[in-house]
A and B are shown apart, each in its own frame.
Chain A
């Protein structure tokens, strides 16, 4: 056990994967969490749970569609804690692509939630990371960002942007001793996918969370989870565009 608590910021703490990851963090070490999300009652129930595990937590309310609020929340975090051991960003929304791709209002909301809120939040914290020369930034991207498909390319676009951003950030912060982890889950049985018909490729959030905590510990760069998605995406990425455009994926 460390002689002090680990400070862990979790954006989107009430998301299923984030919640299970928090519990996984609680199995080892002494932790102090900053839980960020929209629903106070839900965040408070997670706060009670981590307190039962002897960790401490504070709750911050933030709507990821509102970028000013996101930046403000990042500032509050900087004031709440000194050292950031882990910044874990897990929020997101999975829109119905058909409803979004012809509607700019909805498109902008989705891009704010799934992309801009992520990088603006990180941007505010970068100076602290560069200064402390330590810590991990772990962000949930998606296999959907590996190639645009007609069924979910708006979500995929935001996730592709995150993956590219993180790749550059990893390169930049490596020289400061800060590690950046890109997490690319496939199908996971969560609140986000509760209306998606289940198939055998669906993974349990608990096992995904376990892999994420391992990857943070091992300083993995890019984590496909479950691991077989790396190979599925390898195949999907290798299909020539001329052929790919004719597919109904």
Chain B
């Protein structure tokens, strides 16, 4: 048996049969010969989609070499264990950036595809998977297939957002985004309610990246961030060199008191209604990456992140959900609000769809299950859905309702692959 492992939420702690972290293609191919397999990246998903208590786990973090990069077209090919951080460090000085980025760089390319991650630019760019030209997929029959929109397209669609259950992605080719500088022209705007959020959001459609931090304990007041990569070349293409702060201790720093202080400070630190600044991409896109292992501040029981998407016009329902959190006295250290655009991902199981998405972090406690189950009802009633990469507790029944392509997707699940999530959702045995 291998050591116990956990995911980013630190709620599940499991002991896989074995864990290997191969360096080379031949080793990966050999490793997937095991009966029950799950290939994982850097274990940064919040729930159990990257965990398995029964399987042999193949971690790709050492299988991380660049294969090629075309500086003129921005097309990059790499082994899937490469981290977004390594990709960024390579492409930024060459004048390119990730086309889509989640809030952390510490995930692998394979993980970004398997969860079809999204970012602050979803309303203009869509999901990460939309920028994947092709990938090579190894399945348990020993075949390696090239998958793209034109070749093995059904498998391509099932694998993007496919939660790692269709096989092991070996390499992938992606299109990067051209930048003139590594800085963004940013506006931070304070707002007092969800209504204000919508007003600012309607006014921000032309901005490349938009997101808002909100305080759910105070009528969803918050700060709206919007930014465009700056084309004032004097800023240059520079990597960030700020020191990282590590949380080595497993100390439950988060409680209702520190949460209210933090939210108060966060809202008050900006004095003017509108702040115009030039920000490096690092603090703009990855404000939490400088706090290594910040999830440990939630203590031993871990955290749940509840991320849902509901239609844009479901404003009352959004308020109702926030009321449920209040009713159960569930406070959140960090809550973000963002709208998704109309762009459709090729992924059958991709999470984003047009609407508004909220992501709320809760310290784990016993009341949380009941509270979130109540919130689920509203999400389901308006045809919304939850994000599998963040989930630790949704019901299989809801899951099947949320993802209409699930039956098509299931045809492509490799019989030797499963995760604790796939078992919990009755996707696999």
Give Cα A41–Cα B26 distance, bound, in whole angstroms.
Answer: 9
Contact B65 A48 (CB under 8 A): yes
Contact A42 B24 (CB under 8 A): yes
**CB-nearest residue of chain B to A15:** B23
Q: Say yes or no: is B25 at the interface (Cβ < 8 Å to chain A).
A: yes
List B82-136 residues whose CB lies under 8 Å from chain A: 90
Contact A191 B23 (CB under 8 A): yes
Contact B68 A48 (CB under 8 A): yes
Q: Identify A52's interface contact among B23, B26, B66, CB under 8 A.
A: B66
Q: Say yes or no: is B207 at the interface (Cβ < 8 Å to chain A).
A: no
Q: Identify A49's interface contact among B25, B62, B66, CB under 8 A.
A: B66
List B49-74 residues whose CB lies under 8 Å from chain A: 62, 65-69
Contact A52 B68 (CB under 8 A): yes
**CB-nearest residue of chain A to B23:** A191
With an 8 Å Cβ cutoff, the count of chain B residues facing the other chain is 13
Contact A49 B65 (CB under 8 A): yes
Q: Identify B24's interface contact among A45, A49, A53, A194, CB under 8 A.
A: A45
Residues of A within 8 A of B23 (CB): 16, 191
Q: Say yes or no: is A89 at the interface (Cβ < 8 Å to chain B).
A: no
List A5-48 residues whose CB lies under 8 Å from chain B: 14, 16, 39, 41-42, 45-46, 48
Q: Say yes or no: is A221 at the interface (Cβ < 8 Å to chain B).
A: no
Contact mask for chain A residues 172-208; partner B; CB cutoff 8 A; 1 contact, 0 none: 0000000000000000000100100000000000000
Contact A51 B68 (CB under 8 A): yes
Give Cα A211–Cα B329 distance, bound, in whole angstroms.
Answer: 51
Contact A41 B25 (CB under 8 A): yes
Contact B69 A52 (CB under 8 A): yes
Residues of B within 8 A of A14 (CB): 24
Q: How far is the CB of B70 from chain A (nearest CB, A)?
A: 9
Contact B67 A49 (CB under 8 A): yes
What class of interface size applies to chain A in its complex with B?
10 to 19
**CB-nearest residue of chain B to A198:** B3
Give Cα A205–Cα B26 distance, bound, in whole angstroms.
Answer: 21
Give Cα A16–Cα B23 distance, bound, in whole angstroms.
Answer: 9
Give Cα A213–Cα B65 distance, bound, in whole angstroms.
Answer: 20
**CB-nearest residue of chain A to B171:** A45
Q: How far is the CB of A141 from chain B (nearest CB, A)?
A: 23
Give Cα A216–Cα B25 distance, bound, in whole angstroms.
Answer: 31
**CB-nearest residue of chain A to B93:** A27
Residues of A within 8 A of B25 (CB): 41, 45
Q: Identify A46's interface contact among B26, B65, B69, B90, CB under 8 A.
A: B65
Q: How far is the CB of A195 from chain B (nearest CB, A)?
A: 11
Q: How far is the CB of B386 from chain A (nearest CB, A)?
A: 36
Contact mask for chain A residues 50-72; partner B; CB cutoff 8 A; 1 contact, 0 none: 01110000000000000000000
Contact B26 A45 (CB under 8 A): no
Q: How far is the CB of B149 from chain A (nearest CB, A)?
A: 24
Residues of B within 8 A of A16 (CB): 23, 62
Give Cα A49–Cα B23 distance, bound, in whole angstroms.
Answer: 14
Give Cα A16–Cα B68 distance, bound, in whole angstroms.
Answer: 20
Q: How far is the CB of B317 from chain A (nearest CB, A)?
A: 47
Residues of A within 8 A of B21 (CB): 194
Give Cα A11–Cα B25 distance, bound, in whole angstroms.
Answer: 21
Q: Identify B67's interface contact among A41, A42, A48, A191, CB under 8 A.
A: A48
Residues of B within 8 A of A45 (CB): 24-25, 65, 67, 79
Contact mask for chain B residues 3-28; partner A; CB cutoff 8 A; 1 contact, 0 none: 00000000000000000010111100
Give Cα A48–Cα B24 distance, bound, in whole angstroms.
Answer: 14
Residues of A within 8 A of B26 (CB): 39, 41-42
Give Cα A14–Cα B68 distance, bound, in whole angstroms.
Answer: 18
Residues of A within 8 A of B69 (CB): 52
Residues of A within 8 A of B79 (CB): 45
Residues of B within 8 A of A39 (CB): 24, 26
Residues of B within 8 A of A41 (CB): 24-26
Contact mask for chain A residues 206-242; partner B; CB cutoff 8 A; 1 contact, 0 none: 0000000000000000000000000000000000000
Residues of A within 8 A of B65 (CB): 45-46, 48-49
Q: How far is the CB of B31 from chain A (nearest CB, A)?
A: 12
Give Cα A39–Cα B23 distance, bound, in whole angstroms.
Answer: 13
Give Cα A41–Cα B30 distance, bound, in whole angstroms.
Answer: 15
Residues of A within 8 A of B67 (CB): 45, 48-49, 52
Residues of B within 8 A of A51 (CB): 68
Residues of B within 8 A of A42 (CB): 24, 26
Give Cα A210–Cα B25 distance, bound, in whole angstroms.
Answer: 25
Q: How far is the CB of A29 from chain B (nearest CB, A)?
A: 14
Give Cα A45–Cα B62 distance, bound, in whole angstroms.
Answer: 13
Q: How far is the CB of B76 from chain A (nearest CB, A)?
A: 8
Give Cα A16–Cα B24 distance, bound, in whole angstroms.
Answer: 11
Contact mask for chain B residues 252-289; partner A; CB cutoff 8 A; 1 contact, 0 none: 00000000000000000000000000000000000000
**CB-nearest residue of chain B to A45:** B65
Residues of B within 8 A of A48 (CB): 65-68
Residues of A within 8 A of B66 (CB): 48-49, 52-53
Contact mask for chain B residues 334-349; partner A; CB cutoff 8 A; 1 contact, 0 none: 0000000000000000
Q: What is A's interface to B at a CB cutoff of 8 Å?
A: 14, 16, 39, 41-42, 45-46, 48-49, 51-53, 191, 194
Q: What is B's interface to A at a CB cutoff of 8 Å?
A: 21, 23-26, 62, 65-69, 79, 90
Closest 4 CB pairs of A and B: A52-B66, A49-B65, A52-B69, A49-B66
| 13 A-B interface contacts by CB (under 8 A) | A16-B23, A16-B62, A41-B24, A41-B26, A42-B24, A45-B65, A45-B79, A46-B65, A48-B65, A49-B65, A51-B68, A52-B68, A194-B21
Q: Told that A42-B24, A49-B66, A52-B67 touch, could you supply 16 new A-B pairs with CB distance under 8 A?
A: A14-B24, A16-B23, A16-B62, A41-B25, A41-B26, A45-B25, A45-B65, A45-B67, A48-B65, A48-B66, A48-B67, A48-B68, A51-B68, A52-B69, A53-B66, A191-B23
